[in-house]
Structure 1
Amino acid sequence: MSRLAIEYGTHERVREVVDRLTYCAEHVSVEFDGWEEPHVKGPGLYFAVVADRDFGAYADPMGDNRWPRESCTTVFDEEAFISAVGPVSVGQDGGIVVSVDGEIEEQMVRFRDLGTRSGESELVDDVSYEPWMGSRHMSAIETSVRPEVVATVTLSEETGRVSVFRDGEAESMRRHEIGGEWRAE
């Protein structure tokens, strides 16, 4: 590895990007009051923090689903980010691509299953699914093992659970666990 290579998983600024996505997903979960109602679909989110701009090699556009870049371009514009994420979580579908510098891509995507590109078949062995995982979470854990992806963050539209996936490992908080004492790594 080159001496100029950046270890994104431990880089302070990149960790802040992942934290901002996580806390924003938690905010959306806590703000929604209908989780206990039968047959109610709540807000859902799927963020992927990527270390390359060529994510098209493993992602396809999700139709007309777009992040509102005219009002929010980065996770570091807190007010604009919180304002944009609410409507996106209920009105859009697909993964939201965030670069390691916090810039948010406009086109929302569907990440391809592992093994669709050459050399990916061994990555499947790094993935272990949990019984609580739905399709969004299964996609997020698979996407998290790609070398270009630093982390993925999801908000379950069924339960309000917020999960962070890194290298095929899940760190998940059920809705009733969100909003406790400040958590610092």
Structure 2
Amino acid sequence: MSTILLAKMAFKMAIASAISFEIAQALRWEYPFYAAIAAIIVMSSTHGSTLLLGIVRIIGTVIGAISGATFAVALGSNFWSLGISVFLTIFLTSYWKFNEAAKLAGYVSAIVILSHSQGDWLYAWGRFLETLLGIGMALLVNNFIFPASAGVELRRCLSQMLTDLEQFYELVVD
């Protein structure tokens, strides 16, 4: 990736995360940094790929939040609850063919069990809303600041791959 493209991506991530954080703070959400994290994680070079990453993130967050809250209510916040919840969450998310969301679901399940000062379900709902805000902001920023189309991105990647193959060929021949 060129230096200019790297700078554009970093700029878009910075803008999306900062705006997400500010909105979450203005709404007086308890953990606004989760909105900023979601914006950074799902940001990609095109709107379509950001949307796809956002969908995966939402699936993982929903499964993990439900699992974490369920196990926290049923077993409390302890070693066993954490272990069982993370195992079942990752296993079932993968079993249901949401492989890309499985680790995230396990992570969210763990934070719901271990990191809450309010009711389990309320905490899980908060994580979902913050994630949704971050994803929404990433999509908006990606659409309006240095938007890239998949065709342009595909041509750039293809060009880079051909350049890399040419360099590899020269190394092999020499």
Pick the TM interval, shorter chain: under 0.3
Q: What TM-score do you get using the length of structure 1 for normalisation? A: 0.24
Q: Which has the higher contact order (CA 8 A, sep 6+)?
A: 2
Specify which structure has the higher proportion of helix: 2
